[in-house]
Structure 1
Amino acid sequence: MGDYFSIDGGLVRFLSKASDICIIGILWLICCLPIVTFGASTTAAYYTIIKVVKRQRGTLSREFIQALKKNFKDSIMIHCFYLVIEGFLVFNIYQAYQALETRDSAVALNQLFIYAAFLLLVMTAGIYTYPALSRFSMKRNELIQFSFIAMCRHLPITILLIPIFLASIGAMVLLPVGIIFMPGICLYLYSLIMEPVLRKYMTEEMKKQWDGEEE
């Protein structure tokens, strides 16, 4: 029992990991405030979760800032692309909803579901985009294409990721303190599910470097 409460004990390790996850979530939130930096912040937060929290390598603030700088331009451009597509779909969803009472409700309802389905697909692809950006060097169009392919190819994983995404949004909206701890928890849960997927696309050399077998 004494070992459990020691500096290297299980409780201390758990509390240290929990505090790191919360801090990463707060850093993510702060860096998301301009909105257009959502992608850059998410990429940096995911990278830091993997390297610092799970692999216990590097320091939290340094790894987050370095990842933020490294992927800043690409992540902003990709996020702006997603924002344009999502904005278009949201506008059409609103138009279809408004049309439910003004014209053929069956047609409007079909349009509403179609646009909502496309919006969900785009948002789900984004779930793959930023973890992949933190790991691979790809052109922007290749990264977006990879995200849609991975989303469809690993459908069971995708089905697991969607409720985590929706639950985290719900917790941040409904719980006053959810905005503080949920982003980090969500990204940590993502990493548990996403990492096996990303490793399928890594070369053996990349795996060795990532796992610390080579410098």
Structure 2
Amino acid sequence: MSKVFNLENPWMKFLGKVFDLMLINLITLLLMIPIVTIGPAITAMFYSLNRIITGQDTNLLSEHLAFFKKNIKGPMIVSLLHFSFVLGLFAYLTILGESTASSAIVLKIIIYVLMTCSTLLVIYAYGLFASFNNHVFVTIKNSFFLMIAYIPRTILIGAIYIGFSLFFFRFLAIFAPIVFLLGLVLPSLLVVLLLKSVFATAIEKTEA
């Protein structure tokens, strides 16, 4: 019985990781409540998920909150710029209304593409903020180039979030506790892994 509850037991290690993920998920939800802190909250989540992946998950809660407080400005600026941009596109979308004219349909498609691309760019920006210390507009520029340069992985990042969202929405009644406890961190864990591979590849190419 003592072996079962031994902290070095693989099962106990797994449960420890799950608990860490749930903790990050709940903290992120709480930090997102003021709305304007959504960007910093997601960035801090990416930072802590990266620590878990690399096995640096000691003092996770205190490190998470310390990172959030220290790196609140850049991600907040990016999230507010993104919100304003999407709000402007949405306003234009409402002006187009239910028009079925070919020009209106083309414009709607362009708007949806711009919304999607801007969201993916912001995800890259949060990932960069979580891993590097750069100026806001340098981060935005780097995010744009990485998003374009690694299109297959960019598409996969979008597919992960869309796929998880559709799955959770479809089976919300069944998986409500999982959505509440792990709904943000599960897809984001996969996204952080993809972002790490993108950043590592980009750094190798720069140093080559």
Q: TM bucket by the smaller chain?
A: 0.7 to 0.9
Structure 2 residue 145 is the aligned partner of structure 1 residue 149? yes
Q: Which amino acid aligns with 1:12?
A: M
Match of 2:114 among 118, 129, 132: 118
- SS at 1:130's partner residue? helix
What is the TM-score with the length of structure 2 in the denominator? 0.86
- SS at 1:200's partner residue? helix
Structure 2 residue 81 is the aligned partner of structure 1 residue 85? no
Contact map agreement 1:40 1:68 (CA 8 A) in 2: yes
Contact map agreement 1:22 1:181 (CA 8 A) in 2: yes
1:169 shift after superposition: 3.1
Match of 1:137 among 133, 140, 144: 133
Question: Aligned partners of 2:114, 2:41: CA distance in 1, in Å?
Answer: 24
Question: Aligned partners of 1:10, 1:3: CA distance in 2, in Å?
Answer: 10
Contact map agreement 1:17 1:53 (CA 8 A) in 2: no
Identify the residue that residue 193 of structure 1 maps to in structure 2: 194
Question: Aligned partners of 2:75, 2:155: CA distance in 1, in Å?
Answer: 24
Question: Aligned partners of 1:181, 1:171: CA distance in 2, in Å?
Answer: 13
1:170 shift after superposition: 3.3
1:14 shift after superposition: 1.2
Identify the residue that residue 181 of structure 2 maps to in structure 1: 180
Identify the residue that residue 61 of structure 1 maps to in structure 2: 61
1:201 shift after superposition: 4.5
Distance verdict in 2 for CA 1:5–1:192, change over 3 Å? farther
Gap regions ≥5 residues in structure 1: 204-215
Seq. identity, %:
21
Question: Aligned partners of 2:62, 2:185: CA distance in 1, in Å?
Answer: 17
Question: Aligned partners of 2:64, 2:34: CA distance in 1, in Å?
Answer: 17
- Alignment length, in residue pairs? 198
Contact map agreement 2:28 2:45 (CA 8 A) in 1: yes
What is the TM-score with the length of structure 1 in the denominator? 0.84
Q: Please provide the CA RMSD for this pair.
A: 2.1
Identify the residue that residue 106 of structure 1 maps to in structure 2: 102
Question: Aligned partners of 1:52, 1:117: CA distance in 2, in Å?
Answer: 33
Question: Aligned partners of 1:99, 1:134: CA distance in 2, in Å?
Answer: 41
Q: Which amino acid aligns with 1:138?
A: N
1:48 shift after superposition: 0.9
1:171 shift after superposition: 4.8
